[in-house]
Structure 1
């Protein structure tokens, strides 16, 4: 995927754009801070704060419009136009740098921020259009790795450029060359036509922003994912802003130590993004997010606890080599790296989740709403830091400890609002820690539309295993007694489980189950039914009951046969006695989920469907 024409030109384009943004912005700040300050009509501090504001302001003003534009024109053509605009902006910036016109450079920074605001939605909404579903997490991981490495390199290169003898000429040449390289790379991106009906594009900055946010809030799961990503940017902005003072006051380090902290944090995020791709096994896996959340809290707390005592000589200042050679800094450096790594685990699945769940013709608008909220959270982070550190005289360590505690509270809130996140986590634990689940044929699950999954029923955790195997949310039809197991009741209820029982036990529950199934299928959902009607008593597939036939007669939708192998004999199965009553003896045993191709359930009937599942169970297909 990485070297394919559908991804590599885009990847190079976005990396060069991020690198150029950060080189130009940091060169401007460093030039203002360390040279020609008398030429400014305002103070240096005011200019620096203005620079931060004018770069982020366009994300509030233009992101909503950018999302609509990206959803209503060829994305490759839009990227080429944006990169050409960047080339023009950087040509003007080169003149401003050489003439040392700082106010002109500030104006161009605003224009550059506007260009970035328009590039953001198309940057992420392009991925689900050009990548296969099983490549989406991989693509997002590469984008996040490239983004944070580019941020790091841009920040470091800016310092090198400004410190050189030819800083003005060097900066001017580099920003133009990077813009030119980005434009040339964008020319190789293949065409990506509009998906869906083209809308009339209106430019209404403030009203459009609120409409954009209101639209995405109609889908609570996407809205919560956006808030979670924005919270990460809240944390990240606070860390990056406090690094210089933290290094000076707590670590007694010089500017090279600040660069080290930035490098550890950025490389950690890049590594976390890569690990996320490895542990997601080719699909959007929300189950890894809690590991990122936990890491952000635990390693932030330990980072503060790992602050070493001040040097005996109060005037001593660590440089890069002295800092990394002192063993008392090893734990602190490892903690900061792990904070970044946890952040990578946290945000990559959330970006992929938004892309996979947003409607194809509204994906860019969802990303635009995300960019707006990211910018808002970063502004709030700056205000909070100013109030706590400047007004209330908190220490930086107290601020970071507060963020660690708030991170846990935010996670609890998000998981309470979107139980699917918690369900995927529990499913991930079962699939990768309690068992070793292998999924074959995941590509056979339809990307959209109604469908009925039929599967053999071996244990009480079948639904949790299948939940993790599916790339889409699934409504499970489940025996009422199983759906009310105390330890699993909460998860099953919020997963939209459809309880059913025999008409002799409760005719109302029986009839309501079929009505709920009908409504779910009319809503283009996936419904999973275990047609045997009960857990296996001998490990074999029992006769399918008539309920599946009744469902398909009313709603003749596609049927996806599945088979579970390896759960017979587990603590949750009936082997050797009733499930959950025997002593657990098998841990991390191999379990196979075999997913067959779509079949016509009406033609096959319940007995034919039983044979399909039995064939998958006895002779699993290969990828």
Structure 2
């Protein structure tokens, strides 16, 4: 069954405040908040405070990359099934179910935090790690429902701004989750406060999504396949049959690799390179989230009336230069003396320099990724849309997991933690070079899409619109 157009009931005025968007947005950002607050409280507790321990593991920092990989691992495993479920069943019912499960999982995580400092403390770490993994499972099911619902509720013209709003809310909630999770867990009575906040936020998300409008399933006759091998084969097949979505999906996966690697590496980076405490690690990750938020806003402003795809190469170039500068500035950072807290770190000129570089890198990556997300939603065929989104989630989970585990090169070797930023810069430079070579293969320039009255118009060639996701077969004359 084809997806319905955005419901005719919605009134005129900004779509942000309408039922077809606001409940979904609130549920989404609160879910991101709980994910990141839980993960940050767990990682800070493992790395700095020795507050959270795992049986048989003496050094909590050594397990941080593995713990960080659990969330994307769960998404990788369950995304193929989740995409089928999102295509088969009615959207609002799935929204309500997935958010209620999130509430139950936050109650479980809260129980884990309440065990700290009691006779059950030895198993608290295992409960929290289990809760983090199960939240990855929940996210695997919620994400394709949300992403495939947006083209049902919104017009093509609204999708860019809607994704910018979602990304802006995402990065804001990540920021708040990182700050509260990292700061509260180290306070006296902090685990109790963390448990309470997690449960209340999840409850609010479930209540918000209950007022979202109905949306018909895309493929109600679908028979769900639970075989992992055939599922993986079919998921890859759906993407291969949709050439216009392949390159945007790869670009989004790259963003998840870099952002996850940074998030997991920062606690070790703050500890060893900066000789700083957990408050500095939390502050840096918060600044990174602010930068990504700024990037989402910039992307929305730049893409008025267009898909915004043409800005990706410039954004990636800026990100490459910022990562290189971050590596150099970190190598020259004077870290002798007492351990720094956040206020002391930000009172130093070189501290502000590092903070600014983190924000610039994140903002550039935000400009890079927002148009790609909208391009996938816009181009995917309705009957396969949720499964294509699930394939994207699999790729994101895979790249995020690799990004998390790549930090083992830092924790498991003599490599300086700031060396991770040099590796990230090399990856970003390779992508920039690819886009330059891609443009040279099509002398007319790659296309950007103009959106008029909420619909596509044929792609047009632009003088300066190189991008990962251009489809040269739509250019005249095509050249491979």
TM-score range, shorter chain: 0.7 to 0.9
Higher helix share: 2
Shift of 1:14: 0.5
Residue 362 of structure 1 aligns to a residue in which SS?
helix
Q: CA deviation at 1:42?
A: 4.6
Change (3 A) 1:165 1:444: closer
Matched, 1:464 2:464: no
Corresponding residue number in structure 2 for 1:51: 67
The answer to whether 1:260 aligns with 2:257 is no
Q: Specify which of 22, 26, 34 is matched with residue 36 of structure 2.
A: 22
Change (3 A) 1:32 1:330: closer
> Does the residue aligned with 2:185 lie in a helix, a strand or coil?
helix
1:299 to 322, 328, 332: 322
CA distance in 1, matches of 2:431, 2:464: 25
1:268, distance to aligned residue in structure 2 (A): 0.5
1:400 aligns with 2:397: no
Deviation at 1:30, TM superposition (A): 4.4
- Whether 2:386 is the aligned partner of 1:370: answer no
SS at match of 2:282: helix
CA contact (8 A) 1:56 1:113 kept: yes
Instruction: From the superposition, tell whether residues 419 and 383 of structure 1 become closer, same or farther in structure 2 (CA, over 3 Å).
Output: farther
Tell me the equivalent position of 1:9: 23
1:272 correspondence with 2:295: yes
CA distance in 1, matches of 2:108, 2:271: 36
Aligned counterpart in structure 1 of residue 94 of structure 2, from 63, 78, 103: 78
Match in the other structure for 2:202:
179
Task: Check conservation: 2:446, 2:464, Cα contact below 8 A.
Answer: no
Cα distance change, pair 215–39 in 1 and its aligned pair in 2 (3 A) = closer
Per the alignment, in what secondary structure is the counterpart of residue 40 of structure 1?
Answer: coil
Partner of 2:162: 139
Rg larger in 1 or in 2? 1
- The structure with higher relative contact order (CA 8 Å, sep 6+) is 2
How far, CA to CA, are the matches of 1:111 and 1:301 in structure 2? 36
Equivalent residue runs for 1:302-381 within 5 Å: 302-307=325-330, 309-311=332-334, 314-381=336-403
Correspondence 1:34-49 to 2 at 5 A:
34=49, 40=55, 42-43=57-58, 45=60, 48=64
Q: The residue matched to 2:216 in structure 1 has which SS?
A: coil
How far apart are the structure 1 equivalents of 2:43 and 2:134?
Answer: 16
Please say which of residues 410-419 and 264-273 is displaced more in the overlay: 410-419
C-alpha distance in 2, partners of 1:145/1:16?
13
Higher strand share: 1
Q: 1:442 to 1:50 in 2, by over 3 A?
A: closer
- Specify whether residues 219 and 291 from structure 1 end up closer, same or farther in structure 2 by C-alpha distance, changes over 3 A only: same
Quote the offset at 1:163 in angstroms: 2.6
The 3-state SS of whatever aligns with 1:284 is: coil
Q: Does the Cα contact within 8 Å between 1:76 and 1:189 map onto a contact in 2?
A: yes
Preserved contact between residue 28 and residue 105 of structure 1 (Cα < 8 Å): yes
Number of paired residues? 452
Q: Quick one: distance in 1 between partners of 2:294 and 2:445? A: 23
Distance 1:221 1:197 in 2: 25
Structure 1 residue matching 2:382: 3-state secondary structure:
coil
Any idea what the Cα deviations from partners look like across 1:387-440, whole Å, max 9, x if unmatched?
Answer: 47744x433344322321222223443676699999776769xxxxxxxxxx8x
Alpha-carbon distance in 1 for matches of 2:443, 2:213: 38
Measure how far apart 1:38 and its partner are. 7.0
Secondary structure at the aligned position of 1:163 is classed as: coil
Taking structure 2 as the reference length, what is the TM-score of the superposition? 0.84
Contact 2:333 2:350 in 1 (8 A): no
Q: 1:146-295 to 2 correspondence within 5 Å? A: 146-195=169-218, 198-295=221-318
> Does the CA-based 8 Å contact 1:308-1:328 persist in structure 2?
no
Matched with 1:497 is 476
Match of 1:57, SS state, is helix
- Post-superposition Cα deviations, 1:523-552, rounded to whole Å, max 9, x if no partner, equal xxxxxxxxxxxxxxxxxxxxxxxxxxxxxx
Deviation at 1:115, TM superposition (A): 0.7
Alignment pair present for 1:409 and 2:430: yes
Report the Cα distance in structure 1 between the residues aligned to 2:403 and 2:191, rounded to whole angstroms.
Answer: 33
Matches of 1:350 and 1:196, distance apart in 2: 25
Structure 1, unaligned runs of 5 or more: 429-438, 454-462, 475-492, 500-623
CA–CA separation in structure 2 for the residues paired with 1:367 and 1:396: 34
Once the 2 structures are TM-superposed, how far is the Cα of residue 41 of structure 1 from its aligned partner? 5.3
Report the Cα distance in structure 2 between the residues aligned to 1:212 and 1:197, rounded to whole angstroms.
18
Matched, 1:89 2:86: no
Change (3 A) 1:446 1:42: closer
Give the whole-Å Cα distance in 2 for the aligned partners of 1:336 and 1:32: 24
User: Cα–Cα, structure 1 residues 93 and 414, in superposed 2: closer, same or farther, change >3 Å?
Assistant: same
Q: Shift of the alpha carbon at 1:139?
A: 0.6
RMSD: 3.3
Retained in 1: the 8 A contact 2:268–2:411? no
Contact 1:286–1:349, Cα closer than 8 Å, also in 2: yes
